[in-house]
Structure 1
Amino acid sequence: MDVEFIRHKYEDSYDGVITRAKFKIGVRHVQMIYMILCSLTMGMMRSSNSIAIIAVADDTMNNKTIVPIHDWDRRIQGTILSSFFFGYALLLLPAEVFLKQVGDKLILTAVLLINGALSAAMPTIVNKGGWIAVCNAEFLTGMTQACLTPINQQLISNWLPPNERRLFGNLIQGAILLGTIIALPISGLLSQAQLGWELIFYTEAMITLSMAAMWVLLTASTPDRHQAMGDTEKEFIKQALACYKKKKLQKPWRRILKSKGFWAVASAHSAASATFVFFLVNIPAFLFSFNSSLKTSCWQTSLPLVSAWAVYILTSPTIDIIYRIGYADFLFDIKYFRKIINGLGSSGIFIGLTILPSLASHWDHWGVIMLIGTLGSLGLQFSGFLRNISDMTQNYAGTVVMMSSIVSSVVGALVPLISGFIIGNDSKDIERWRMVFLTIASFNVGCNIIYTVFASNERQDWDDVGKQKFGYSNDVTNLELEELSHTKTAMRNPESDNLL
C-alpha cells in the first residue's frame, strides 16, 4: 500500500506516516461544506458593515429612503470601523491559545448568534445610542470574529484525515475573502432601497441567524457525535489519525519575539494588512465622494479584491515550485527569491496608490484597471513574505503566523482611524485623500524595506528541537547523510514497518 509523509499547512509540530485508503466521499465532507458556508457568512459581514456605515451618512438618500440619515463625517466613520479591527486584534491571541483546545461546535454557534443578534439590533443602536454605542457593538463583533479561524482549525483536525486538511483548510479560509467580495456589490445595491442602510443590517442578521440554525442542527463537534456518520467512515478516520501524532513542544515565544526574521515578516504582514484594510473601508468612500453612487463604488471595489485573490492563488504555488526546484538559481541567489517577489508586489502597490488620486477628477475604466492592478500586486506580496514563514520554521509555522497576524491586525485597525482624521468633515477634498494614499504607500514601502533587510530564508535557531524532520525539509540537500540516516532510523517504529 502506498504511504506518504504529510504536513498540514501552518499546523505546528506534527509528524507521522499515514496510509491511502479507498474511502473517499463521506459525511465529513458535508461537515466541511457547512464550515465553508459559516466562513462565507462571516466574510460577508466584514465588508457589508463597512458599506452600511458609509450608507448611514449618505445624504444623497435623504429624499429616497424612509430611514434617518445621520451626519457622521469620516472621523466618526473611521472610529467605528477601527473598533471592529481593534476588537479582532485583542482576542486573536486568547482565541488561538484557548479555543483550539476546545474545538466544540457550540462556540461557532455562539459566534454566529452574537453576530446575527448584533446585526439585527444595529439599526436601533445607531438611531438610539449614537456612534459611541455603535463603536461598542462593532468592537464586540470583531472580538467574536477572532474566534472563527481557531475553531475552524480544530474542527478540521477533529474531522479530517491529514491528507485532506490542507485542501479544505484553504477552502474554508478562502471563503472568508469570497464572502467579503460577494457582500460588497450586494450591500451597495441594498443601500439604494427605501430601507437603505437598515436593510443591509437586517439582511446580515437574517443570513447569519439562519446559518446558526443550520449549523447547530446539522453538524457535530466530532465524527463520533454525528448521528448520520457510518461505522465505516468513523473507522477510516481513526485509522488515518492513528500514526499522525502531535509532538509536545514548548513554544519559544520569547526567542521568536527576539528574532529579526520574525519582525521582518511581521513588518511585511503589517504593510499588506494596512493596504487591504484601506481598500476595504476607504476605497468605496473615495469613489463615492467623487465619481459615482455607492452602488457603483461597491462594484468597482469588489473587482480589485477578486484580482488580489486570483493573483495569490495562481502565483503562490507556482512561486513555491520554482523556489523548491531551484530554477531561480540561474538568475540570482535563491536566498533573495522571496524578497524579490515581495518587492515586486510592494512596488506595484506604491505606484498604484501614488497615481490613483490623480485619476479622481476624470474617473473612467482606466481608474478601475489601476485599482485592479494595485490590489493584484498585494496578492503577489502575500506570495512572497507569507511563504517565507515555511522557510523559517518547520515546527512553529502556525504560531509565527498567529503572532504576525496580531501585529498586522493592530496596524490594520489604525488605518480607518488615521485616515478618518486626515479626511475629517471634507470628504471631497482631493488633497486630503492624496495625503492618505501617499501615507499608505509610504508605510508599505518602509515596512518592505525592513523585510528586505532583515528577512531570512534560513531555518531559525529557535526552531531546532534536536532532530531534523524526516520527509519534509526546506532544502534536503543541506542535510548531512549521517543526520538523515539517524533521523530516518528514529522515525521508524513497528507500526510504520507494518504499514510499509
Structure 2
Amino acid sequence: MGILRRTYIKYSPLNLDSYLNAAGRPFFGKRHFQIFIYFLLIFIAYGIRVNLSVGIVAMTDPTASINPDVPTYNWTDKSIMLSAFFWGYILPQVGAGWLANNYGPKWFLVGAMSICSLFGLLLPSMAAMFGSKGVMASRAIQGLSQGFIFPSTHNLLAQWVPPNERSRLGTFVYAAGPFGTVVSMLVTGLISSSWYGWPLVFYLYGGAGLLWSVIFVFLGYNAPSHHPTISEEEKYYIENSLGHAEEKPKMRTPWKEILTSVPLWAIFLTQSGHNWGFWTLLTEIPIYMSNVMNFNIKSNSVLSALPYFVLWVLSFVFSTIADLLVNKGILSIGASRKLFNTIGLVVPAAALVCLGNTGSEDTDKAVTLLVIAVGINSAVFCGFNVNHMDLSPNFSGTLMGITNGTSNICGIVAPLVVQILVTDERDPNQWKIIFYMTASIYVVASLIFALFGSGEVQSWNDEEKSKGESDKIWIYKYVV
C-alpha cells in the first residue's frame, strides 16, 4: 500500500511526458474508452451528415434500385438541399461551446444526437409528404442538432487528452469523420441500389444515432474527476498533464481577449478556407462522378468514398509523426501545427489544379487526383483542427464553437456557388472553375495560418493563475 506524495517540476510537454512515463502511466485506460465513444459519435454524425450526398442520386434516379416501388423524385434544387444541413448547423455553435465549458457537454450531446437521429428516421416521410422542402427542413434540424457536437467534443478532449497525446487521440476522434464518410457513401450506394432502396439508409443511421445516445447516457463522463472507476494514477496523469490536480471552478469567459486574438482569427480564416474545399468536394463529388465520369450508383459510391478512406488512413500516419516531432523536441507545437497544416492544404490545391485539366475520358487520372486532394488533406487534423486546445485548454469548446460555427457558413455557400457556376453538370470546363477556385482558397488559408498561427497557450486562458506559479505543475505519484 503506497502513499500519495506531491512534488512539482518545471513545466514543459517534454519533461512532463518523460516524468509521467517513468511514473508508470496506464497504457490503456479509461481515457481511451472515452475517446472510442467520441470516435463512434463522430463516425455516426458524419454518416448522417453525408448520406444525402450519395442518397440524393438514388432519390432522383428511377433506375437506381431494382425495386420499382422505391419512391423517386424529379428535383432540380439538389445543391440547395445539400446545403440545407448548414442552415441549422452554424446557429448553435458558439452557444454550444459556452454551455459545454460551463455546464458540461454530456447531456447536450445526448439531446442533440437524439434529435438528429429522430429527424433522420423521419426524412423519407418528410420527402414523401413535402417534397424537397421536407428534406430541407429535416436536414436543417439535423444540422442544428449537430451544431452541438464539435464544440462539445472539443471540450471533452480538452478534459481527457494529455497534451503529449493530443495529435494522436484528437486525430483518432476527428478522423472518424472521413471514416464515417467512407462507410456512409459505400453503405448508401449499396443499399440504394438494393431492393430496400434509399429510405433504409436513413432508418439505419437514425437507429444507430439513438443507440449511441443510450450508450453515452451510461458510459460517458465530462471529465476524469466524474468517472467512478478511473484509477488514481490515470486520473492524476491526465489532470496534472493539463496543469491542474483538481476540478477547476467555473471561470469568466474572456470574450474581448478571445475575439481579438490574432491566432484564433488565423484558425477561423484557415478553417473557413478548409471547409469551403472540404464540403465542396464532399457534397459534389458524387454528382461530378455520375455526370462527368459516367459512373453508376454502385461505382459512384465506391469511388466517391475511396478518397475519404485514404484520408482516414493517412490521418494516423500524419498524427503519429506530428506527436513524434514534438515529443522528441524536433519541432515546437506551433511549428508542427503549421507544417502539417501547410501539407494538408497546399498539396491538395496542386492536385485540384491538375484535376481541372483532366479530361472526362481520363478517369483513372481523375480518381487518383481526387484521392490525393482529399487524402493528403488529413494533415490538417494535426494543424488548425486541434490548435484550439493549444491556445486555450480551458475555453477550447468555446473557441471551436466560434470558428466551427462561423466557418461552416462556407458549407452553405460553397454548394450554392457550384449550383450557380455549374449550369451543365456534364460540362468538365464548368467543373474546372470550381476546382481552380477551391485550390486558390486552400493556398490562401495555408498562408494565413503559417503567418499568424500559434502553438502557445494564450495569456487569457487562465487569468487567475499567479505569475509565480505559471511555470510549475504539480505531480502526484505513489511511493512505497
TM over 0.5: same fold? yes
8 Å Cα contact 1:28/1:223 also seen in 2: no
CA distance in structure 2 between the partners assigned to 1:455 and 1:156 by the alignment:
21
State the AA in 1 paired with 2:97.
Answer: E
Q: Which residue identity is paired with 2:469? A: T
How many Å apart are 1:126 and its aligned residue?
Answer: 0.9
Deviations 1:19-48 (A, max 9, x none): 968988788876665554344322221221
Q: Distance in 2 between matches of 1:309 and 1:161?
A: 20
Tell me by how many angstroms 1:174 deviates.
3.6
In the alignment, the residues of structure 1 paired with residue 306 and residue 196 of structure 2 have an alpha-carbon distance, to the nearest angstrom, of 26
Instruction: Give deviations 1:427-470, integer Å, cap 9, x for gaps.
Output: 212222222222222222233343344445666565574768xx
In the alignment, residue 311 of structure 2 is paired with which amino acid?
A
> Which deviations, in whole Å up to 9, do the C-alpha atoms of 1:198-244 show, x marking residues without a partner?
2322322343344445555x5466899x9xx9x86587787776923
1:77 maps to which residue? 78
1:349 aligns to 2:348 (yes or no): yes
Q: Which amino acid aligns with 1:89?
A: I
1:389: how far off? 5.0
**1:412 corresponds to:** 411
Distance 1:239 1:392 in 2: 22
Contact 1:92 1:146 in 2 (8 A): yes
Q: 1:267 to 1:296 in 2, by over 3 A?
A: same
Q: Provide the C-alpha distance between the structure 2 equivalents of 1:172 and 1:324, rounded to a whole number of angstroms.
A: 20
AA of the residue aligned to 1:312: S
User: Structure 1 residues 63 and 421, CA, compared in 2 at 3 Å: closer, same or farther?
Assistant: farther
Q: Aligned partner of 2:267: which letter? A: V
Cα distance change, pair 246–19 in 1 and its aligned pair in 2 (3 A): farther
1:230-309 equivalence runs, <5 A: 243-246=245-248, 249-290=251-292, 291-309=294-312
Rg comparison, structure with higher value? 1
Q: Is the 1:338–1:388 contact (alpha carbons within 8 Å) kept by the matching residues of 2?
A: yes
Q: Distance in 2 between matches of 1:6 and 1:300?
A: 51
Give the C-alpha shift of residue 63 in structure 1.
7.8
Cα deviation, residue 287, structure 1: 0.4
**Secondary structure of the equivalent of 2:247?**
strand
Cα distance, 1:121 vs structure 2: 1.8
Residues 315 and 63 from structure 1, CA distance in 2 versus in 1: closer, same or farther, beyond 3 angstroms?
closer
AA partner of residue 245 (structure 1): E
| Paired residue type of 1:367 | A
TM-fit CA distance, 1:423: 2.3
* CA distance in structure 1 between the partners assigned to 2:452 and 2:157 by the alignment: 34
Determine if contact 1:357/1:437 at 8 Å carries over to the other structure: yes
Q: Is the 8 A contact 2:37 2:216 kept in 1?
A: yes
Q: Answer yes or no: is 1:93 the counterpart of 2:94.
A: yes
Aligned position for 1:362? 361
Instruction: Specify the alignment match of 2:54 in structure 1.
Output: 51
Question: Which residue in 1 is equivalent to 2:469?
Answer: 487
Q: Could you tell me the TM-score, scaled by structure 2's length?
A: 0.79
Residues 152, 461 of structure 1: CA spacing in aligned structure 2 closer, same or farther, 3 A cutoff? closer
Label 1:236 to 1:62 Cα distance change in 2 as closer, same or farther (>3 A). closer
- Distance in 2, Cα, partners of 1:415 & 1:282: 10
Shift of 1:395: 5.5
User: Separation in 1 of the partners of 2:27 and 2:262?
Assistant: 44
- The amino acid across from 1:355 in the alignment is C
Aligned partner of 2:440 among 432, 439, 442: 442
Per the alignment, residue 116 of structure 2 pairs with: 115
Q: Distance in 2 between matches of 1:107 and 1:19?
A: 38
SS of 2:96's partner is helix
Q: 1:5 to 1:377 in 2, by over 3 A?
A: farther
Counterpart secondary structure, 2:131: helix
CA contact 1:112–1:208 (8 Å) conserved in 2: yes
Work out whether residues 62 and 69 of structure 1, in 8 Å CA contact, stay in contact via their aligned partners in 2: no
Cα distance, 1:82–1:5 mapped onto 2, change above 3 Å: farther
Aligned to 2:16: none
How many angstroms apart in 1 are the aligned matches of 2:430 and 2:55?
A: 23
Counting only pairs closer than 5 Å after superposition, residues 294-443 of structure 1 correspond to structure 2 as: 294-322=297-325, 327=330, 339=338, 341-386=340-385, 392=391, 396-424=395-423, 426-443=424-441
Q: Report the 3-state secondary structure (helix = DSSP H, G, I; strand = E; otherwise coil) of the residue aligned with 2:252.
A: coil
Question: Would the alpha carbon gap of residues 139 and 347 (structure 1) be closer, same or farther in structure 2, given more than 3 Å must change?
Answer: same
1:244 match: secondary structure: coil
Higher relative contact order (CA 8 A, sep 6+): 2
How far apart in 2 are the matches of 1:4 and 1:294? Answer: 61
Q: Which letter maps to 2:346?
A: S
Q: Which 10-residue stretch deviates more, 199-208 or 338-347?
A: 338-347
Q: Is the 8 A contact 2:273 2:441 kept in 1?
A: yes
SS at match of 1:124: helix
Q: Structure 1 pair 423/285, CA: closer, same or farther in 2 (3 Å)?
A: same
Q: How big is the shift at 1:163?
A: 9.4
The offset of 1:101, in angstroms, is 4.0
The structural deviation recorded for 1:318 is 2.2
Contact 2:46 2:180 in 1 (8 A): yes
**Over aligned residue pairs, what C-alpha RMSD do you find?**
4.4
- In structure 2, the CA distance between the partners of 1:233 and 1:352, relative to structure 1 (3 Å rule), is closer
Task: Give the superposition deviation at 1:286.
Answer: 0.5
Letter in 1 for 2:187: I
Partner of residue 17, structure 2? none
Name the SS of the counterpart of 2:358 in structure 1: helix
Q: Does the 8 A contact of 1:393 with 1:459 survive in 2?
A: yes
Q: Tell me how far 1:341 sits from its aligned partner.
A: 4.5
Q: Could you tell me which amino acid in structure 1 is paired with residue 288 of structure 2? A: F
- d(CA) in 1 for partners of 2:10, 2:276: 34
The residue that corresponds to 1:476 in the other structure is none
TM-score of the pair, normalised by structure 1: 0.76
My pick for the range that moved more, 335-344 or 161-170, is 161-170
Secondary structure at the aligned position of 1:133 is classed as: helix
CA distance in 1, matches of 2:73, 2:334: 54
Say if 1:115 and 1:64 are closer, same or farther in 2 by CA, change over 3 A.
same
Given that 2:279 and 2:414 are in contact with CA atoms closer than 8 Å, whether structure 1 keeps it comes out as yes
